[in-house]
A and B are shown apart, each in its own frame.
Chain A
Amino acid sequence: MLTIENLEVAYFNAIQVLKGLTLSVDDSEVVALLGANGAGKTTLLKAVSGLLPLENGAIGEGRIRFQDQLINKTPPHELARAGLLHVREGRRIFTEMSVEENLISATYALTGRDAQPDFEAVYNYFPQLKDRARQTAGLLSGGELQMLAIGRALIGQPRLILLDEPSLGLAPKIVDEIFDIIARINQEQNVSILLVEQNANAAFRIAHRGYILEGGKVVLEGSVADLRRNPDIQTFYLGLGDQEDKKSFRDVKHYKRRKRWLA
């Protein structure tokens, strides 16, 4: 579905963010991408969806392929029309338009395809949106905004969704609810999902595989089951801590805190 080989990305031709990143997403697979702030997760998604040139970023080396097509230089609207949809960090809802109009604006992703927009399907996944169809989108709650953002992507009948931090700023209960729906979408619509998250627990609940990104490179990858067993992941992403010593994190010596994959 999506393969990325040795991707290098720099902003303003000076600030290198991705340094030879390799990653792949298979058909109908949910892949989690974890990493600290500044690791390059959002940059990676922007590189894939073609938004980098708008922010003075550029792909140097490397190849991005979507359904076996090289898409390094494809403009964003053509990617959306080919079924690659990007749900951006912070939802980026059109706040001055109604919920319904937000969904209508998403129908442009179907241009050139022999398909009709299916608003009912979106409302089936997110019944709250139907009740608020005529409301100004800017007045929705955080959870509803995220639902609308995912709903907009669904209208485009995606093959691959890039989901950037859907849990951002949401209560744990809402996060669970939304991630359940993401898992359902993955199974029922046969869509691949590349999920960028800080909330590793939530991401691992629905993902099949995962990558850990650090300093613009993949430092660890594997099935979710493997990743869960990794002691570093447990310490730094799942908040389980070393089981043998129950000391406060503050007391651990700096060199012990250092992640093993950097050693």
Chain B
Amino acid sequence: MGQFVQYLINGVISGGILALIALGIVSVFKATKVVNFAHGHLILFGAYFYFTFAVMLPEAAFMPDWVRSWEPEWLVAYRADAPSFSPKAAIASWISDVPRILLGLAGALAANALLALLIERLVMRPLLGQSTFAMILSTVGLIWVLEGSAGLIWTAEAEQVPSLGPNFPIRFELFGANLFLFSGSLFNLLIALALFAALMLVLRYTRSGVAIRATAEDQSTAYAMGINVPRVFSSAWLIASTTGAVAGAILATRTGLSPAIGLFGLSVLAVVLMGGLDSFAGVLLASMLIGVLQAMTQWKLGGEYAEIVPYVAVLIVILIRPHGFLGQEEIERI
């Protein structure tokens, strides 16, 4: 039982990251009806941007020392009596990293937003009015453009980037088993869920949310009613790229920087299909299920099966429910 809870926790934590990635795919799809195959590579860029602004830039000669490592006197005093590997030491080292974490996040968000606006403006906007299939295929082409240019710009691989939250092991006992998790992972999960919840609330309860949903349902009618549809499109890409930047930063802290992040992001598309391309709630459900299922397979069958089993589950769900768990068929009036 204790083991089960341990793997449940691991599953929920990876599910949270899946959900954060899926969020970007769903928002672009809802607003523009385009399935963005390149979302994983947008995340890859987010990860590299985070690395650039949180690691490379602070180490540049012209940056003041406190950006690289902030050591105010009270922090030195606080750290002095903390044993190594204690939560206190972890928090202290996190605080001295805070300036470059913030710089990294701000830089990654801004740079990724700019990248998405460029893509939207130069690739998507000219295709407005054409079939969405043309747009979808051009996102497939973007995968290689982005992957190739990332390889040209950044040569770093498996670099260490600072974790977003203080990272220390939390140990506790449940059902007679010793469980543990990293506070950093918990912090990441909270960020992912907070972003997810914030977006859902905005969509459900604000006027801008209504504009986005109206555009999602009928672009030309929304346009004729005074909604600035091209702007809704760019905001959807903005949401996807900024949440993607956060996801990229989280992935980089978990597994290190590598082009594999892009492929991992692409595989999340399967999770999105399972939940329903146009349903945030369905996608959250699917992300959690896949995360937990993956952790459970890892526990019972081992790592190699953990790569396969979740995707078989996705396949089965799509065979039974082609729209995914909560994907909407058009409401028919009876």
* CB pair B129 A54 closer than 8 Å: yes
A 76-89 to B, binary, CB cutoff 8 A, 1 in contact else 0: 11011100011010
Residue of chain A at shortest CB distance from B228: A77
Q: Is B328 an interface residue (CB 8 A)?
A: yes
Bound together, the chains give a CA A109 to CA B255 distance in angstroms of: 48
List the A side residues contacting B214 at CB < 8 Å. 94, 97, 105
| Nearest-neighbor residue (CB-CB) of A162 within chain B | B224
Task: Check A108/B129 contact, CB under 8 A, given A50-B224, A139-B333.
Answer: no
Complex CA–CA separation, A94 to B226 (angstroms): 14
CB pair A54–B219 under 8 Å, yes or no, is: yes
Chain B contacts for A106, CB-based, 8 A: 225-226
Residues of A within 8 A of B210 (CB): 97, 101, 104-105
B173 at the interface (CB under 8 A from A): no
- A138 proximal to B (CB < 8 A): yes
B300 CB-CB contact with A under 8 Å: no
- A73 to B223 Cα, complex, angstroms: 14
Output the least CB separation between A52 and chain B (Å): 10
**In the complex, what's the smallest C-beta–C-beta distance from B204 to chain A, in angstroms?**
10
Encoded as 1 (CB less than 8 Å from any A CB) or 0, chain B from 296 to 334 comes to 000000000000000000000000000000001011110
**A111: interface (CB < 8 Å):** yes
Q: Nearest CB to that of A109 among chain B residues?
A: B226
A133 at the interface (CB under 8 A from B): no
| Chain A residue at smallest Cβ distance from B215 | A105
**B220 engages A54 (CB within 8 Å):** yes
Q: Which residues of B contact A50 (CB under 8 A)?
A: 223-224
Knowing A54-B129, A108-B225, A108-B226, the reply to whether A97 touches B220 (Cβ < 8 A) is no
> Does B181 have its Cβ within 8 Å of any Cβ on chain A?
no
If over half of A's interface residues share one DSSP class (helix, strand or loop), that class is named, otherwise mixed; here it is helix
Q: Are A51 and B220 in contact (CB under 8 A)?
A: yes
Assess the B333–A138 pair: CB atoms within 8 A: yes
Q: A92-B218, A95-B331, A136-B331 are in contact. Are A51 and B207 (CB under 8 A)?
A: no
* B200-239 at interface with A (beta carbon < 8 Å): 207, 210-211, 213-214, 217-229
- How far apart are the CA atoms of A79 and B220 in the complex, in Å? 13
Residues of chain B within 8 A of A109, CB atoms compared:
225-226
Instruction: Give the CA-CA distance A49 to B229 in the complex, in Å.
Output: 15
Question: Are the CB atoms of B224 and A97 closer together than 8 Å?
Answer: no
In whole angstroms, what is the CA distance A104 to B228 when docked?
15
Instruction: Find A56's partner among B129, B217, B226 (CB 8 Å cutoff).
Output: B129
* Residue contact B218 to A53, C-beta cutoff 8 Å: no
Q: Does A39 contact B (CB under 8 A)?
A: no
- Cβ contact of B213, chosen from A55, A76, A77, A96, cutoff 8 A: A96
Instruction: Give chain A nearest CB distance to B326 CB in angstroms.
Output: 12
Closest to B221 in A: A92
Min CB distance A92 to B, Å, is: 4
State the Cβ distance, B4 to closest chain A Cβ, in Å.
Answer: 39
Q: State the CA gap A110–B227 with chains docked (Å).
A: 10
Per-residue B-contact encoding for A33-66, CB less than 8 Å = 1, 0 else: 0000000000000000111011110000000000
CA separation between A149 and B234, bound complex, in Å? 27
Quick check: is A107 within 8 A (CB to CB) of the other chain?
A: yes
Pairwise interchain contact B221-A138, C-beta atoms closer than 8 A: no
Taking the closest CB of chain B, its distance from the CB of A110, in whole angstroms, is 7
Nearest B residue (CB) for A94: B217
Q: How far is the CB of B121 from chain A (nearest CB, A)?
A: 16
Closest to A105 in B: B214
Q: Which residues of B contact A136 (CB under 8 A)?
A: 331
Is the Cβ of A80 less than 8 Å from the Cβ of B225? yes
Complex Cα spacing A75 to B222, Å? 12
Distance of A81 from chain B, by nearest CB (Å)? 5
Known: A75-B223, A95-B217, A138-B333. 12 other contacts (CB 8 A): A53-B129, A76-B224, A77-B223, A77-B225, A80-B225, A94-B218, A94-B222, A96-B331, A106-B226, A107-B207, A108-B226, A156-B225
14 A-B residue pairs with CB within 8 Å? A54-B128, A54-B223, A77-B225, A77-B229, A88-B221, A95-B331, A96-B331, A97-B213, A105-B210, A105-B222, A105-B225, A109-B225, A110-B226, A139-B333
